[in-house]
Structure 1
Amino acid sequence: MGRPRIALLSNPKSTGNIAQLSRIRALCDQHPDIFHYEVERAEQIGDALKTIARVRPKMLVINGGDGTVQAALTEIHNGGHFGDEPPPVAVLPNGKTNLIAMDLGAQGDPIVALERLLGLAQADLAPHIVARELIALRCDPHGHPVIGMFLGGAGLADTMLYCRHKIYPLGLPNGLSHALTAVALLFRMLFRLKADFLPPNPSHLQVSVARGGRLSGRFSLLAVTTLERMLLSSELGGVGHGRMKLVAIEERPGSLLKALFAGLLGKLGKDKVTGVHFEEADEISIEGDRSNLILDGEMFQATLGQPVVLRRARPLSFVRLAAV
């Protein structure tokens, strides 16, 4: 038998895998073309990829939430296990938010997605390969970067943490959890209330964009991404190929609603909207008073005098299930 066409890296503790992993394992048992490696902690991903590199798969499929994907991308970037030619990466729909999987057209049942990927691996993958730029985040200028594709900050990060710690434990479906979080956010902004059962007010931030000036203030949403799709928009605008896209929405209900409508109409980043800032850059630094930032599920803090710096990382090939 030749080398496996697919290497599947699974995180059994990912939220979606609690219910799906037995089905995933059963499918892998039926298909010797799949080399399945399971990890339970992020620290094990390096050893996993070192082993996977030895079997030289045609495709690397990640079965976990955005945090698992982020940890794997970081190890691919920093570990050098695959040399200069890592296999194209596919992501199964899993976890709570699945922004990366959604961007690659993977939605619905992860078993169905894996079966489709198995079919694609039987033939030429080229028509399904897309390049994606990555974000390299550094808190320490001398340390290894953390690699991801979507960073949320300011009120967005605080609201994501609020949803994670206050809403998800209620055991509600994801869609309802996210809707309740949005209602709580709008309620807090409209009535200017402070309460434990509502998301906190965002702290002051300073954002510097290379060759693009500086933003300063309180923002209900701050997002930096290389994804084509975002929370508020089916597709982001902009003209710079591969550059990081920054969206910052001022802490006012009117600005958030205008951004929401612009996103629904597909105009976010294309038309100028009052209170909404859109920039494209190769380098962005964020500084604040212990302000939370979340890169694909992992939390960081921007502090005064020690900014978090984002730069473009070298692109990586991904397998897109939707039509290219």
Structure 2
Amino acid sequence: MLQETGQDAAAPAREAAGHAAPGPRVALLSNPTASGNRALLPQIRTFCAAQRDVFHYEVERLDQVGIALSRIALVKPRVLVINGGDGTVQAALTEIYNGRHFGDDPPPVAVLPNGKTNLIAMDLGADGDPLETLERVLLIARSDLDRHIVERELIALSHGTGKGRAVLGMFLGGAGLADIMLYCRHHIYPLGLPNGISHFLTFFAALISILFGFKTGLLPRKPNPVEVSVFRRGKLKGRFAVLVVTTLERLLLHSHFPERHGKAGALQLLAVERRPMAVFRVIFGALFRRLGKDRFGGVHLERGDEIRIESEQSQVILDGETFEARRGFPIILRPTAPVPFLRLAV
């Protein structure tokens, strides 16, 4: 079922007929099936129903996101807010870019901190209560947007030849990190614990596995070797505890990638070899904000405009969706043109 609340749903039709009406400043795309929305959505609906500045559209399946965005485009919002899990964010970004529902002038995108990891929301300064974040976005949309708009490239992921419709996102985890994320998804999240405790238990289990090399179904498995090629920068081969490709500014533990200079590539790569000392070095570097400033053995930071990941069998996760890199069918990552986002902190 598709559901609209907030701004009068007939307004786009009246405007098309020549009876112009002020459009909503904010369009909110919600996925009620996202785990974070089960308790929150009634409050979101009540808030939106009381705000003529908000056009609220709900989808129950990700394949409805394209229809939702085409409908949202009719009301020409100043800001598009995504309220759902990682899969909802990824589906919306893919449709915004590939579907071109807003033509050459898409509204800036804001993301409510309502998923399991909230990496994109945190990078944009949205960290806290989702309803308070929505209220803050609405206040910004009623004022001068320009100082809050930032541009980010997206990661376009394709398989094998790199042809066909790419899937878009902003954070990719591969090698050991993908195995750890899947371990958390399948073994820790079902326990029903708060996200913070779930992530701590997952981190502890991964650290034990790396330090002692235990082979048990109770711990994340040992990652397969992978080969990572950064265009014009060379190759990395081996087993990696962490493999990250992102266009976000933030790294582990709120540290940041080095600033981009000149013609440096838009895709940022962090690869940490699966050795205890390399893992301890990256943790130390992240805690003390030294990543990208100091060199650490076994820790690789690169930038590029094309990254290929190939393996006999290794999974990667792009904003919650899983893909597999295989020999002869590599994962190919390229940046898109910049897309506007709304940053809450200036």
Give me the TM-score of the superposition, normalised by structure 2: 0.91
Q: For 2:268 and 2:293, how far apart are their aligned partners in 1? A: 12
Identity of aligned residues (%): 59
Which residue of the partner structure matches residue 138 of structure 1? 158
Are the aligned partners of 2:265 and 2:303 in contact in 1 as well (CA < 8 Å)?
A: no
Q: In the aligned structure 2, how far is the partner of 1:297 from the partner of 1:149?
A: 11
Contact persistence 1:233–1:268 (CA under 8 A): no
After the TM superposition, which residues 133-172 of structure 1 pair with which residues of structure 2 at under 5 Å, given as runs?
A: 133-140=153-160, 141-172=162-193
Say which one has the larger Rg. 2
Deviations along 1:83-123, one digit per CA (max 9) or x if unpaired, are 10001111111110000000000011111001111111111
2-structure distance, mates of 1:134, 1:46: 18
- Per the alignment, residue 67 of structure 1 pairs with 87
After superposition, the C-alpha distances for 1:229-269 in whole angstroms (9 at most, x for unaligned) are 02344212243466111000001111111001111111212
Question: Match of 2:109, as an amino acid?
Answer: V
Deviation, 1:15, is 1.5
Q: Distance in 1 between matches of 2:310 and 2:210?
A: 23
Shift of 1:41: 1.1
Counterpart amino acid of residue 184 in structure 1: A
- Distance (whole Å) between structure 1 residues aligned to residue 255 and residue 34 of structure 2: 26
The one of 27, 31, 47 equivalent to 1:11 is 31
1:199 corresponds in structure 2 to 220
Partner SS, residue 15 of structure 1 = coil
Count residues in correspondence.
323
Code of the residue aligned with 1:263 in structure 2: it is: A
Shift in Å at residue 189 of structure 1? 1.2
- C-alpha change, 1:278 and 1:102, in structure 2 (3 Å) is same
Letter in 2 for 1:204: P
Deviations 1:259-317 (A, max 9, x none): 01111111212221001111110110000122010001010000001111000111111
Q: Is the 8 A contact 1:238 1:280 kept in 2?
A: no
Distance 1:102 1:90 in 2: 11
Matches within 5 A, 1:289-300: 289-300=312-323
Distance 1:37 1:242, change over 3 A: farther
The match for 1:211 is 232
Contact 1:11-1:63 at 8 Å conserved across structures: yes
Counterpart position of 1:187: 208
Say which of 259, 262, 267 aligns to 2:290: 267
RMSD: 1.1
Aligned to 1:143, the other structure's residue is in SS state: coil
1:56 aligns with 2:79: no
**AA matched with 1:165:** H
Give the corresponding residue for 2:304: 281
> Displacement, 1:194?
0.4
Structure 2 residue 120 is matched with structure 1 residue 100: yes
Aligned partners of 2:180 and 2:202 also within 8 Å: yes
List alignment gaps of at least 5 residues for structure 2: 1-20
CA change 1:186–1:235 in 2 (3 A) is same
Contact residue 268 and residue 304 of structure 2 kept, 8 A: yes
Matched with 2:143 is 123
1:91 alignment counterpart: 111
Q: Secondary structure at the match of 2:220?
A: coil
Q: Which region of structure 1 is more displaced relative to structure 2, 241-250 or 28-37?
A: 241-250
**Separation (CA, whole Å) in 2 of partners of 1:15 and 1:8:** 17
**Cα deviation per residue 1:15-41 (whole Å; 9 max; x = unaligned)?**
111110000000001001111000111
- Counterpart AA for 1:222: L
1:26 aligns with 2:56: no
Conservation of the 8 A alpha-carbon contact between 2:265 and 2:304? no
1:66–1:99 contact (8 Å) kept in structure 2: no
The 2-side partners of 1:163 and 1:73 are apart by 25
Residue 215 of structure 1: CA displacement?
A: 0.4
In the alignment, the residues of structure 2 paired with residue 92 and residue 239 of structure 1 have an alpha-carbon distance, to the nearest angstrom, of 27
Q: Any idea what SS the aligned residue of 1:189 has?
A: helix
Tell me if structure 2 keeps the 8 A contact 1:99–1:230: no
CA distance in 2, matches of 1:94, 1:167: 18
- One-letter code of the match for 2:316? L
The structural deviation recorded for 1:139 is 1.0
User: Deviation at 1:184?
Assistant: 0.5
